[in-house]
A and B are shown apart, each in its own frame.
Chain A
Amino acid sequence: MQVPILSEEIAAGRNPEILFWVGCAGSFDQRAQSITKAFVTILNKVAIDYAILGSEEMCTGDPARRSGNEFMFQMMAYQNIQLLNQYQVKKIVTACPHCFNTLKNEYPELGGNYEVIHHATLIQDLINEGKIVLKEGGSFKGKKITYHDSCYLGRSNNIYEAPRNVIMALDAELVEMKRCKSNGLCCGAGGAQMFKEEEKGNTRINFERTNEAINTKATIIAAACPFCNTMMTDGIKVKEKEDEIQVLDIAELIAQSI
């Protein structure tokens, strides 16, 4: 499969319409790499004019900023913005809500102004425009799917419906957890928690959230964030439910249905 690299595209005189910001999880984390591949499969299939930054991409600085290291955040932001502006990037899509939030909300006042969309929104648009054509009687038809809201997509940016609409397009049965949408419970990874041991408590946040998902009797937990995906997958493993319940990104749901 061909994945265009922005520097090469520009060297060849092409100017891709949209940059796919892969993010660190999507690039390095084994589980998240599958999400990246699924999304790229979709992009290629509908012939989107895109490219990735490849080895030029850097951490947006999100975990640094949330843990309190504003210096490191500013360092990363500065370098990324320099690069993006140099390439005259106009539009960015990303499968990571943390990258999405940083690029969309925090880069503009530092000089980085782009149209930033999350992959859930792009996929929904492509379905609506008829560019993504789903298989008749796909493998998720009639399946019970619950959607776990990512905090940085939901509360932070008010994107609740796009991922849900994508799930509905699969003819699946969308079941909601007790705490959903603006009341959604965090998976426990945000605020740079992903990169450290959880503080002392009587349970882990991802266990709590996974229990809620299990209670819906869904066979698939859909996520739209690589970190949520990891946390929920771990929770399912600890509950020894991995044979009954799968944690899948919405890009994976769609990639498996086209």
Chain B
Amino acid sequence: MNFIPQILFLLSFLAAVYLFAKKIGSIKRNIFLGVSENLSDHPEKRWKNVFLLALGQKKMFKNLTVAVLHLVIYLGFVIINIEVLEIMIDGIVGTHRIFYGFIPSLYPILINAFELLALGVIIVCVIFLYRRNIIHLWRFKNADLKGWPSKDANFILVIEIILMCLFLTMNATDTLLQSKGFGYYNEQLTGNFIISSFLHPLFNGFENTGLVFIERTSWWLHILGIFAFLNYLPWSKHLHIILAFPNAYFARLTPQGKFNNMLAVQQEVKNAFHPELAPTEVGSILKFGASDVNELSWKNVLDAYSCTECGRCSNACPASQTGKLLSPRSIMMKTRDRAEELGERLDKGMDIQDGKSLLNDYITEEELRACTTCNACVEECPVSISPVDIIIQLRRYLVMEKSTAPQEWTMMFGNIENNFAPWKFSPDDRSKWIDTFNS
């Protein structure tokens, strides 16, 4: 027996898994560059979010048509993996369509279902390519996606189409060979399949050897394509198919309007009001807010890696929609870029001090100043991301560490401090409206 194909298969499989695991390991490390924060309370609510938001894609259904189209790709992706399982076993053991032997009557039904999904995936990918490149949808044409991100999105759609075409070609040639009773194809008489049988006319002119060559090539390219795609995921916005799940689990459960409390500041203020209770020792020097990825929460970095760059956030953002520099999508993309940059340094054995930071080198003050904290971006996000959370931490750094704020804000702070109101009115006049009431 010739074991070379099996050995080649096993080697490419192991290489794919090794490279994928290695990259995921470094992404995990990059995520945990962020400050630790316990987000495991109320597991029942968190699991509910996983089912509704990640698995159920609840937010996608704000637009039914797009949700259904996306669902076809998603189901195709997940369900066709059952077929990949068979391919894996065949590849390693050296069998051909091994599942057929166990479930001969069920097998054609399964493959027919996969083929229908494959056709669905192809159609939807074409529609999505059309939406991205032909119709001028603001969120796909916006400057955030200039260059690589826009190519990435198209690349994924094209790969999916190619993978599905290979799957159908493989089935078409296989069933043709069956009908001709050729070689081992004659041992698994599955019969024709619902979609690939339409491809038969394309291959009728081929000799058996030609058909076998096409069948084998499709089989190999299909599975090698999947291995390659697996390793492309971590470099792409497509990582969301994995990270949407943990991101939904660890999403904040508090009302959107509630900001994270800064315990250290709370304590300092308490000490200021009660100096007699304040600790006499000088504690560790605290830094307030965040200026770089390693000062954000790990959840913020997970958010950045989960971002699918769909732009629903910026499409809903009042600042983005009125031409401000701020785009919540870009906040997430820049955070991921910065995390990757720090990760690359760590990969090379360097430390993370490169003289740069997320603030200023990636995200500008002007962007941060434009946010109205309206949470429209958070509400829109299909994968439970909060750009507001990052914006606020950077704002905190600007105001509390850098003491930089727009002049009007500085005046507002002064008014609150002196008059207990953001405007310059005397606190004694607070109930003056009652007088005008009676006049």
Contact = CB atoms under 8 A, between A and B. Distances in A.
Interface in B388-439: 392, 395-400, 405-406, 408-409, 411-413, 416-417, 420-423, 425, 427-434, 436-438
Residue of A67, A183, A191, A192 with most chain B CB atoms under a 10 A cut-off: A67
Contact of A188 (B259, B262, B318, B406): B318
B319 interface: yes
Contacts of B62: 183
Nearest to A152: B257
B372 interface: yes
Interface stretch (B148-156, B184-192, B322-330, B338-346): B322-330
A59 B322 contact: no
Interface in A125-169: 151-152, 155-158
B376 A186 contact: yes
Given A105-B258, A199-B366, A200-B325, A205 B376 contact: no
B428 A55 contact: yes
A197 B258 contact: no
B391 to A, nearest CB: 9
Given A109-B261, A199-B370, A63 B422 contact: yes
Contacts of A27: 421, 425, 430-433
A257 to B, nearest CB: 19
Given A70-B265, A205-B318, A64 B413 contact: yes
Residue of A37, A64, A197 with most chain B CB atoms under a 10 A cut-off: A64
Interface string B307-339: 000000000101101111110000000000000
A117 to B, nearest CB: 14
B351 interface: no
Nearest to B255: A105
B254 to A, nearest CB: 7
B322 A203 contact: yes
A202 B321 CA distance: 9
B379 interface: yes
A78 interface: yes
Contact of A58 (B258, B326, B420, B423): B420
A75 to B, nearest CB: 6
Contact of B437 (A29, A40, A66, A194): A40
A70 B434 contact: no
Contacts of A204: 322
Interface stretch (B77-85, B95-103, B104-112, B267-275): B267-275
B265 to A, nearest CB: 5
A65 interface: yes
A61 interface: yes
A246 interface: no
Contact of A67 (B272, B375, B409, B420): B409
A183 B432 CA distance: 38
Given A52-B431, A55-B428, A197-B406, A24 B437 contact: no
B437 A63 contact: no
Interface residues of B, number: 70
B284 interface: no
A106 B411 CA distance: 24
Given A185-B376, A186-B372, A188-B372, A78 B270 contact: yes
A25 B429 CA distance: 13
Contacts of B288: 70
B256 A208 contact: no
Contacts of B399: 67-69
A105 B376 CA distance: 18
B428 A28 contact: no
Contacts of B319: 199, 201, 205
Contact of B412 (A40, A78, A192): A192
B288 to A, nearest CB: 7
Residue of A69, A76, A105, A189 with most chain B CB atoms under a 10 A cut-off: A69
Residue of B268, B324, B378 with most chain A CB atoms under a 10 A cut-off: B324
A71 to B, nearest CB: 6
| The 7 nearest A-B residue pairs measured at CB | A156-B257, A202-B323, A68-B395, A191-B373, A186-B374, A68-B399, A201-B323
Given A55-B427, A63-B422, 14 more contacts: A24-B422, A27-B421, A36-B433, A69-B405, A70-B400, A71-B265, A75-B272, A76-B420, A105-B257, A151-B373, A155-B375, A183-B379, A185-B316, A201-B323
Interface of A: 1, 3, 5, 22, 24, 26-29, 33, 36-37, 40, 52, 54-55, 57-59, 61, 63-72, 74-76, 78, 101, 105-106, 109-110, 151-152, 155-158, 179, 182-186, 188-205, 207-209
28 contacts: A1-B437, A27-B431, A36-B433, A54-B430, A59-B421, A64-B416, A67-B399, A67-B405, A68-B392, A69-B399, A69-B400, A70-B265, A70-B400, A74-B268, A76-B416, A78-B270, A101-B258, A105-B258, A106-B259, A151-B374, A152-B257, A155-B378, A184-B376, A190-B373, A191-B371, A194-B422, A196-B409, A199-B319
Interface of B: 62, 254-259, 261-262, 265-266, 268-270, 272-273, 288-289, 316, 318-319, 321-326, 366, 369-376, 378-379, 392, 395-400, 405-406, 408-409, 411-413, 416-417, 420-423, 425, 427-434, 436-438
